[in-house]
Amino acid sequence: MKIPRVLSRGLLLAATLAALSPAARAEGQLRIAEQFGIVYLLLNVAQDQKLVEKHGKAAGVDIKVEFIKLSGGASVNDALLGGSVDIAAAGVGPLLTIWDRTYGKQNVRGVASLGNFPYYLVTNNPAVKTIADFSDKDRIALPAVGVSVQSRVLQFASAKLWGDAQFNRLDRLQVALPHPDATAAIIKGGTEISAHFGNPPFQDQSLAANPNARIVLNSYEVLGGPSSATVLYATEKFRADNPKTYRAFLDALQEAAQWTTANPEKAADTYLRVANSKTDRELLLRVIRNPEVQFKITPQNTFGLASFLHRVGAIRNKPASVKDYFFPDAHIAAGS
């Protein structure tokens, strides 16, 4: 039967659009948003050793992996919801925010942890001994005001000190600034930035380079011990539509965690090379070998922060456990 020309053109257009649509895209593309710091070391190792590609081939799929550098949980979340990345790497704070925001819609959930790292709130103001000493003259640099895990941990600490009603008491002092810039400000001094809630190795650089810099707050103290401050997350659709790519990524991440734990010196060299970092190698090794640092993909001590955020109204949906905001994969079973 002869198809009318107009109809045939319409069918061709529909077929073309279907082929280009995300739902119809064949497996084999993985775009990962990452940020700054050695907390993203497992991604650096996976990139350097092409571990995702390796595990993809074992599953019969050729995966093209792209790493996209962003700064701040807000920009990472925007990129994920905008469809420009497939897996996001950011703090637990941004994960809980986007999980709550997309609940019943895109259903963004956690994929894995990037390990346990203590995050330090560092100041160069000699008058500041605790968070209670910050005044209107101080400015606290962190990746994203009110969204980043640093901001959320500071809110949690504020609630413990002054009560839930004043959980955001220090938000007015916060300034969004990339870690490298904030570190430079703490080391140099003389700027409006008098504190930086960062992550390794930036916090360690500040403490090593400026004798006036000191730790005001350790995230482990607030969260109840070693905790997975930085995590990976994705949409439900990506996980469902790309099972082999998703599985290859998890396997690559697990291999990267085991390799990093067993090879701290090689891991430090990998970070310096892949991140194009000028960080002192010995300082990096101290971070990697820090007994408080653990390279593992199972999330730990995240639920306390999640419960707090719901309690103060920062997220609407109440999680019953870590399994609500992480996908039900095997490594999540022992998560907390």
> How are the residues of the chain apportioned to helix, strand and coil, as percentages rounded to the nearest 5?
50, 15, 35
**What does the pLDDT average to over 230-248?**
97
What are the residues facing 69 on neighbouring strands? 34
Question: What is the pLDDT, as a whole number, of residue 25?
Answer: 52
Question: Do the beta carbons of residue 102 and residue 83 sit within 8 Å?
Answer: no
**pTM for the whole thing?**
0.85
Q: Indicate if the pLDDT at residue 14 is higher than 90.
A: no
Tokens 């001994």 correspond to 129
Collapsing DSSP states into helix, strand and coil, what is residue 268? Answer: helix
Question: What is the pLDDT, as a whole number, of residue 70?
Answer: 87
Structure tokens that stand for 251 in this block: 């396997």
Q: Indicate if the pLDDT at residue 91 is higher than 50.
A: yes
What are the residues facing 196 on neighbouring strands? 122, 141
Question: What is the pLDDT, as a whole number, of residue 17?
Answer: 35
Which domains are delineated in the chain?
A: 26-117+227-332 (3.40.190.10), 120-223 (3.40.190.10)
Q: Give dist(CA 27, CA 52) in Å, integer.
A: 13
- Positive or negative, the CA dihedral 51, 57, 60, 62 is positive
Question: What is the pLDDT, as a whole number, of residue 235?
Answer: 97
**What does the pLDDT average to over 309-313?**
96
In tens, the pLDDT along 48-62 reads 999 999 999 999 999
Question: What is the pLDDT, as a whole number, of residue 144?
Answer: 84
Q: Whose CA is closest to 256, among 49, 11, 7?
A: 49
